[in-house]
Structure 1
Amino acid sequence: MVKALQYKRFGQPEVLELVDLLTLEPKTDEVSIKVSHVGLNPMDWAIMGHPEVAPNFGVKLPQTFAYDFAGQIDQIGAEVTDFKVGDRVFGTTMKGAATEQLIASAKEPGLYHTPDFIENDVAPTLAVAGLTAAVALRKAHVKNGDTLLIGGAAGGVGIFAVQLAQLWGAKVIGTASDSTADFLKELGAEQVAYGEGFTDRLKGKGITAAIDLHSFESLNTALELGVKADKMSTVIMYPEHPAGVPTATGGEAIPSDMEMVLTAIGSQQLTVPIAAKFPINDYLEAVNLQMSRHTHGKIVLYF
């Protein structure tokens, strides 16, 4: 038997429970992964709390919670050639990641070898957040010389977007509370407080592109400041976003996006702050902390 964190009905974190599942054997083209760490993302609890959204992600109850994982392959099918027993791997799966055993196709586009320079607690933070940031930057046509406004810059996707944008040659201004100013400064971004007077605080800063990771405040302000919709993107799917602004999801990533993220980490041009790590039994505390949206970096569960 293996433990898994699941929900059998939609709702708030209280619907989550640790259950015992049967151990499975991989098929000829599959691998069995002993999951050690799980990275949390807003989409995890957003899907769990909105049954009208869940079908878009193939969710069928009971659903294993979370989507980002890291671990080690402990079994392979007879036809598998790209992986071997003992390989460290990470990735994302819509089957649900918070389980001690994950069965995945060896051809799964969301399954990656973990480089030696990446620790197991960092690996499960990369797929959803890193790829979503890369797609958002590309869809906003961010380029060298841009001054990019990022709404929600200190969150999980934001820490990747801030650093990748600078690698692309953009100056970054990020929205966050005043208490987060030093954190964003460490990442190389200028902090600006959201809320009343937001537009006035941005006047004269030469904003040329915008990505919103939290609400539509940054997009609406950028539009007011004259930025065109094709120089923006958002990861917020609901409610309806401003006309002409494209949405961005990690599922739209291309192989070179993950290569870019890994290369940047390997060359120490991108760091992934881990805000907190919790044992799987403390899942409720971890999810509630993630939902508060006040952490600086990623939150990780471990078995």
Structure 2
Amino acid sequence: MQVQGEQPPAVGRAVRLESFGGPEVLDVREVPAPQAGPGQVRVRVTAAGLNPMDWIMTADADTAARFGLAPPAGFGTDYAGAVDQVGDGVTGFAPGDRVFGGALSRAVADFVVVHAGGETAADEAHHTPDGVDDRTAAALTIAGRTASAALAAVAPGPDDTVLIGGAGGGVGVFAVQLARIAGARVIGTGSAASAGHLRDLGAEPVAYGDGLADRVRALAPGGVTAAIDLHGVETVHAARRLGVPDGRICTIAAQVDGVAAANGANAAPGALEEIARLVAARRLRVPIAAAFPIGQIRRAVEVQAARHVQGKVVIDL
């Protein structure tokens, strides 16, 4: 179904890659506009959020294959926009509805088609709450789901002091604030330049690197009770030195024997909608570190991949 009085677009822009590699393989192409089939909606995308997984899974053929990708392929997963076409059998969505969600490796495009009932970041649509702008909505799906799953793995509460490694990054923005909403004290690792950013999120900053466990012990002589490592394994090792049991340690970017590993696919049903509600209620904020037009996709990926941004990188369409 199309919005009455409008002609369906025949083409749209999309970021495409013909071979796997770095930002240099990304190009903006004019492609046929996809059409919504039964059970699907088409979204006119206005913003697409970038995540480390976007460039990691398109960096080489072996990694891409683990995600079911082969060239030619699109790029990006998080999107926000408005429904402009509804397929047969769809209920709950109508043309003009503002939506956000995930479209695996195809979100940086004028149009994406997703299943209206989808429940995974690879293929989903959710109503965007009033009070949440499209740039912010486009930054929620992967990082929000991942942070929610990681928090669920360690279940922080008011009696906890949680150490979060890589707290200033895209997932850290959510993890710190969700832990604080749960009532926990949060100590977040980062660079000296990120200290103010971490304080703004509600974390007590501590420098990463050699001696991390000693610095955390000085900040929290009463002990640390849970830990989440959002970058590698440094925080896992520090947490173990501080006496945190493996059952209350979680990683997202590494595998450590005895320690839970979380990702967005593990998020509980409704987790993403709850995060959006918290944003709408101004209980959780999503810093947008940088926004680029689609024509600057290569530069945007370079900035995001450098891992020094304090918040999220978004593409405007």
Rounded to whole Å, the distance in 2 between the matches of 1:259 and 1:67 is 17
Question: Is it true that 1:7 corresponds to 2:21 in the alignment?
Answer: no
Report deviation, 1:105: 1.5
2:227: which partner in 1?
A: 210
Report deviation, 1:55: 2.4
What per-residue deviation string (whole Å, max 9, x for no partner) do you get for residues 9-54 of structure 1? Answer: 1111111111121123211321111111000000001111143222
Q: In 2, are the aligned partners of 1:58 and 1:94 still within 8 Å (CA)? A: no
TM-score, with normalisation over the residues of structure 1? 0.96
Q: In 2, are the aligned partners of 1:141 and 1:230 still within 8 Å (CA)? A: no
1:94: which partner in 2?
A: 104
2:21 counterpart SS class: coil
Rounded to whole Å, the distance in 2 between the matches of 1:24 and 1:64 is 13
Rounded to whole Å, the distance in 2 between the matches of 1:195 and 1:25 is 50
2:246: which partner in 1?
A: 229
What per-residue deviation string (whole Å, max 9, x for no partner) do you get for residues 204-240 of structure 1? Answer: 5111111011121001110111111110111114xxx
Report deviation, 1:259: 3.1
Aligned-partner residue type, residue 214 of structure 1: H
What per-residue deviation string (whole Å, max 9, x for no partner) do you get for residues 70-104 of structure 1? Answer: 01111111321110000111001225211111111
Rounded to whole Å, the distance in 2 between the matches of 1:260 and 1:23 is 32
Which of the residues 113, 128, 132 maps onto 1:114? 128
1:158 counterpart SS class: helix
Aligned-partner residue type, residue 209 of structure 1: A
1:121 counterpart SS class: helix
Rounded to whole Å, the distance in 2 between the matches of 1:88 and 1:177 is 37
Q: In 1, are the aligned partners of 2:145 and 2:267 still within 8 Å (CA)? A: yes
Which of the residues 185, 188, 198 maps onto 2:199? 185
Rounded to whole Å, the distance in 1 between the matches of 2:273 and 2:204 is 27
Which of the residues 116, 119, 134 maps onto 2:148? 134
2:65: which partner in 1?
A: 55
Aligned-partner residue type, residue 240 of structure 2: L
Q: Count how many residue pairs are aligned between Structure 1 and Structure 2.
A: 300
Rounded to whole Å, the distance in 1 between the matches of 2:130 and 2:144 is 18
1:66 counterpart SS class: coil
Gaps of 5+ in 2: 1-10
Q: Percent identity?
A: 42
Which of the residues 139, 148, 162 maps onto 2:162? 148
Rounded to whole Å, the distance in 2 between the matches of 1:72 and 1:254 is 25
Give every structure 1 segment of 4 or more consecutive aligned residues whose post-TM-superposition deviation is greater than 4 Å.
none
Gaps of 5+ in 1: none
Rounded to whole Å, the distance in 1 between the matches of 2:155 and 2:62 is 31
RMSD: 1.3
2:89: which partner in 1?
A: 79
Rounded to whole Å, the distance in 2 between the matches of 1:32 and 1:269 is 31
1:222 counterpart SS class: helix
Which of the residues 272, 275, 286 maps onto 1:261? 275
Rounded to whole Å, the distance in 1 between the matches of 2:152 and 2:61 is 30
